[in-house]
Amino acid sequence: MGIFSRNQGENHNNITSVVLIEQTQKYKNKTSWGLSFSNSAFGDPIAMSQTVPDGTELTFSIAYKNGRKKILKVMSGTAMADRLLQMALDPDKRNGSDDCIEGKSGQNAASAEGKSLIKLGKNQLPQGRYIIGKDLPEGTFDFTWVWGEGYLSLYKTDENTTLGNNLYLENVGIAHEYQYRQCLHLQCAAGNMLIIGGNLVVEISRSPRLNIDL
């Protein structure tokens, strides 16, 4: 049946979008036994307890073709976590995420009202990966929702792996309470990788200079 149960309607073919909401480091208590020779020639048994990392819990928001949505928590390193991360960071072509905004995909082409096509305006970015200093200039920027829903994340390197390199992650949209319309004052340094996921379109602008009078 794969990593998703068909009986529960969670076959990955039924999923339309996956958004990584949160990463939480888990810890566990570990006890180590040893001998202390300070008071006894034969050694006295002692126990030392310490807290050690025990994996990362990933929280995903999953939407299905039948309109159902759910929040799912899985541990990193599992087959399910790897599959969901792949779908969240690299949505496959069957969902139309690799097509242009004005392409054949009805999901990406329809506006929020489902009546018109969206056309990218000046300084508007569709889903994709952007390298700061190459695709986008270096600086501090504000990102404002234009259309669709998804997430905006920033990583400190442009290497193939993104795990452990996250600097910023926010869900963007207007459909759910956990989504935001704006991501403000995001500092993007040369070499950072900006990822816009889902079918999201945002407008990028330079953040205004802070006016602080304390």
Higher-pLDDT residue of 102 and 209 is 209
In which element (H, E) is residue 195 found? Answer: strand 193-198
In which element (H, E) is residue 84 found? Answer: helix 79-89
Joined together, the tokens standing for residue 38 give 């300070």
**Confidence grade of residue 35 (pLDDT, cut at 50, 70, 90):** low
Q: How far is the C-alpha of 156 from the C-alpha of 112, rounded, in Å?
A: 32
Q: What percentage of the chain carries pLDDT values higher than 70?
A: 65
Contacts of 206 (CB under 8 A, 6+ apart): 139, 140, 141, 142
Distances in whole angstroms, Cα of residue 167 to Cα of each of 162, 175, 203: 10, 25, 20
The answer to whether residue 146 scores a pLDDT higher than 50 is yes
The answer to whether residue 29 scores a pLDDT higher than 80 is no
Q: How far is the C-alpha of 84 from the C-alpha of 59, rounded, in Å?
A: 10
Distances in whole angstroms, Cα of residue 140 to Cα of each of 150, 151, 188, 206, 207: 21, 18, 6, 6, 6
Instruction: Give domain limits for the chain.
Output: 1-29+48-89, 100-206
In which element (H, E) is residue 149 found? Answer: none
Give per-residue pLDDT as tens, 68-94: 888 888 887 788 877 887 777 665 443
Helices (H), the chain: 79-89, 106-109
The answer to whether residue 15 scores a pLDDT higher than 60 is yes
Handedness of CA 145, 148, 153, 158 (dihedral sign): negative
Is residue 172 within 8 A of residue 144, CB to CB? The reply is no
Q: 10 Å Cβ neighbour count for 201? A: 22
Is residue 16 within 8 A of residue 63, CB to CB? The reply is yes
pTM of the predicted protein model: 0.48
The strand pairing partners of 49, in sequence order, are 31
The number of CA neighbours under 13 Å toward the Cβ of 175 is 13
Q: How far is the C-alpha of 197 from the C-alpha of 201, rounded, in Å?
A: 9
